[in-house]
Amino acid sequence: MSNGLIIAAVFIAAFVLTWVLRRYALASSLMDIPNERSSHSVPTPRGGGVAIVLSFLAVLPLLGVMQWLPWSAVIATVGAGAAVAVLGFLDDHGHIAARWRLLGHFSAAAWALYWLGGLPPLLVFGYTFDLGIFGSILAAVYIVWLLNLYNFMDGIDGIASVEAICVCLGGALLYALLGASVLALLPLLLAAAVAGFLCWNFPPARIFMGDAGSGFLGLILAVLSLQAAWFKAELLWSWVILLGVFVVDATFTLLRRLLRGDKVYEAHRSHAYQYASRQFGAHRSVTLAVLLINLVWLLPLALAVGLGYLDGLLGVLIAYVPLLLLAIKFKAGQLEKAGL
């Protein structure tokens, strides 16, 4: 069985499963009803991200059996991903207290890190640092933050899907350019699963991802970035650059709300991308802008870092400064009554 056939099968499976989940949601009245905190105005089926989870995770044991992926990677990804997806699914269908969600998230992160071998040595300005146990703690915080920020950033049609596809294709391209095409399969499979879902989620969305899908994507992207860093230390910085749009908007918004004393666990519409979507009056224009930023700005910098032409941390700083300026321009974290 060829790589292309497996990738196509995952895409088709995600597409069909999303259609099935949409029919089920409509029949069962599992709808996202707009409220004052919503960025949409029409009741829309939710929970479509389960299609991404099932189509992606189902193929991984097969790849382990075929010895295309090490079993440690399969166990890390399937175990942590399934746990986060189930937790998100339960939260989609009934509220789970934040402390229990966080406990589940850190448990999933610990599971993934155990099988991955912890945080790889960090390369900073040419010096390598092995942080040991502290590195594993830092990596767990990184995974949980990326998991949650992906949930925060899944607020307008197509944006979370487009971001995941761009990041995965960028990561796969880096592997290919470094002569490790076999390692590119995992991010390509995730991109294929998300693309199948995006066919139904592109603006105007006919189904939403839900917490099961967004949290799952955040965790898997974090795991993939750490796996890449074990192959080559510079690649961690490359993945952090590729994730820049989401990392900067979510982090800046959270810090601004924390400094103001807001209850950060409460829903809001104060991310830069949400203000931008209201300013331009459309989700599609903002989602396409994210696509453009990823392709024109972040991808070239990520390639320069991964191929050794630019220091990793310096590359992150160069990549993030314009994104920070955009976040400020579009009022990320500003009180909603003072914004658009």
CB atoms near residue 49 (< 10 Å): 33
CA distance 268 to 339: 12
CB 244 within 8 A of CB 131: no
CA distance 108 to 97: 17
Q: Is 151 annotated as a binding residue?
A: yes
CB 197 within 8 A of CB 14: yes
Q: Is 148 annotated as a binding residue?
A: no
Q: In what helix (H) or strand (E) does residue 335 lie, and over which residues does it extend?
A: none
CA distance 189 to 243: 18
Pairing type for strands 31-32 and 122-124 reads unpaired
Helices (H) and strands (E) in the chain, counts: 14, 4
Please, which residues bridge with residue 123 across strands? 128
Positions at the binding site: 151, 211
Residues of the binding site for Mg(2+): 151, 211
